[in-house]
Amino acid sequence: GKPRVVVVGGGAGGATAARYIAKDSKGKIDVTLIEPTRMYYTCFFSNLYLGGFKEIDDLGHSYGGLAAGGVNVVHDWATGVDRDAKTVALAGGGSVPYDKLILSPGIDFVDGAVEGWDLSAQNAMPHAYKGGSQTELLKAQLMAMPEGGTFAMVAPPNPYRCPPGPYERVSMVAHYLKVNNPTAKIIVADPKAKFSKQALFQEGWANHYEGMVDWIGEDFGGGNVSVDPNAMTVTIDGEETSVDVCNVIPAMKAGRIAELAGVTDGNWAPVHAADMSSKADGDIYVLGDAASQGDMPKSGFSANSQAKVCANAVRGALTGSKVFPAKFSNTCWSLIDTNDGVKVGATYEATEEKIAKVDGFISATGESADLRRATYEESEGWYAGITADMFG
């Protein structure tokens, strides 16, 4: 019969890989995608939803386009991988055989990363670092804040998905509060001494939201933090504060199925840069946030870029089609306030050792309003283009 590819996880990496293999193999490969949710809500642009620039429906993408493109979409959880039998077990029972298995399960949280918080506290203190209901919950809590209230964020340690994500979120929360609750305050407890696009964000916070954002970095005890979800308090370096909203973004690791498949080493799954194949098993590939690959940040753009390299390599391995040298790219845009967009990005190539950065760029402080608006408009085009590339 035809060679079989199974993809676990229909997000940025998995949807792209499934779509490209089905499309480019023109029916020569059987592609099955395993994904529990019927609608994928992007984390990218979810901060713009918090700020009031997007509706939740703008972020949702169905799997109908993939099905129409020839992908067999199975809505279920993968619960295990039998690497000898080459099968993936499903929560609903039964199993799916594969010749090549692609894992793109995104992230899970490291247990005990923030003292006082675990998954059972995610309703009182949402992470909103997976898309959909968590994002909506955080927005509802933001809107329900009392006048002059306090919004706290516990930021994650490196490495984590979307390096500028927490700081774009601070910006969008500040935008919402400036309009709706201008005497409110934001405090950020951060275990890092510095963060992505820091100069750009701090310039923007000073320009647009003067006095509203208090960022407490590692040097000031920002990593020495505990929370109490019942009392709604945050304790930073011994000082307890009552807060109205607490967005806890814990330390991250590869989605659990990568660990169950036995392809992780520590928190992440090491891969070969040339084709994204696991260093533990040549018939398993790991894409996106879950992979330990080298220099690329964990982003939707990166996952999409890695998925295309992987799809090309998997087709080549199964059907003998031409395999092109691996090239990758990424750009992370962030919105600081209305029409004030900034970006950071790079191109990459595969070396023996890792995905290695070739060339990069970053927005500068003090740029003109016109340039910032053009950067924001570029991000709108990017979102439309990349979600079409992922979901058809």
Residues forming contacts to ligand FAD in the complex (CB under 6 A) are 8-14, 34-37, 40, 43-44, 46-47, 77-78, 104-106, 129, 161-162, 165, 169, 255, 257, 287-290, 298-301, 303, 332-333
Q: For residue 241, what is the DSSP state?
A: E
Are 150 and 183 contacting, i.e. CB atoms less than 8 angstroms apart?
Answer: no
Q: How far is the CB of 164 from ligand FAD (least distance, A)?
A: 8
**185: helix, strand or coil:** strand
* Cβ contacts of 364-369, under 8 Å, gap ≥ 24: 365/199, 365/200, 365/203, 366/203, 367/342, 369/339, 369/340
Q: How far is the CB of 50 from ligand FAD (least distance, A)?
A: 9
Q: How far is the CB of 263 from ligand FAD (least distance, A)?
A: 13
Q: How far is the CB of 83 from ligand FAD (least distance, A)?
A: 16
Closer Cβ to ligand FAD, 47 or 150, answer by number: 47
Q: How far is the CB of 376 from ligand FAD (least distance, A)?
A: 12
Closer Cβ to ligand FAD, 272 or 298, answer by number: 298
Cα dihedral 170, 171, 172, 178 sign: positive
Closer Cβ to ligand FAD, 3 or 36, answer by number: 36
Angle at 228 between CA 225 and CA 234, to 5 degrees: 40
Are 108 and 253 contacting, i.e. CB atoms less than 8 angstroms apart?
Answer: yes
Are 234 and 189 contacting, i.e. CB atoms less than 8 angstroms apart?
Answer: yes
Q: How far is the CB of 38 from ligand FAD (least distance, A)?
A: 11
Q: Which residue is nearest to ligand FAD (CB)?
A: 11
Question: Quick one: how far is CA 249 from the chain centroid?
Answer: 12
Are 5 and 98 contacting, i.e. CB atoms less than 8 angstroms apart?
Answer: yes
Closer Cβ to ligand FAD, 73 or 228, answer by number: 73
Alpha carbon separation from 194 to 128, 219, 233, 248, 264 (Å, rounded): 22, 9, 25, 18, 28
Alpha carbon separation from 245 to 67, 141, 187, 190, 284 (Å, rounded): 40, 6, 10, 16, 41
Closer Cβ to ligand FAD, 227 or 307, answer by number: 307
Measured CA to CA, the distance from residue 351 to residue 58 in angstroms comes to: 38
Q: How far is the CB of 240 from ligand FAD (least distance, A)?
A: 27
Closer Cβ to ligand FAD, 228 or 272, answer by number: 272
Closer Cβ to ligand FAD, 19 or 169, answer by number: 169
Closer Cβ to ligand FAD, 107 or 187, answer by number: 107
Measured CA to CA, the distance from residue 9 to residue 307 in angstroms comes to: 12
Are 333 and 301 contacting, i.e. CB atoms less than 8 angstroms apart?
Answer: no
Closer Cβ to ligand FAD, 130 or 315, answer by number: 130
Q: How far is the CB of 375 from ligand FAD (least distance, A)?
A: 12
Q: How far is the CB of 252 from ligand FAD (least distance, A)?
A: 10
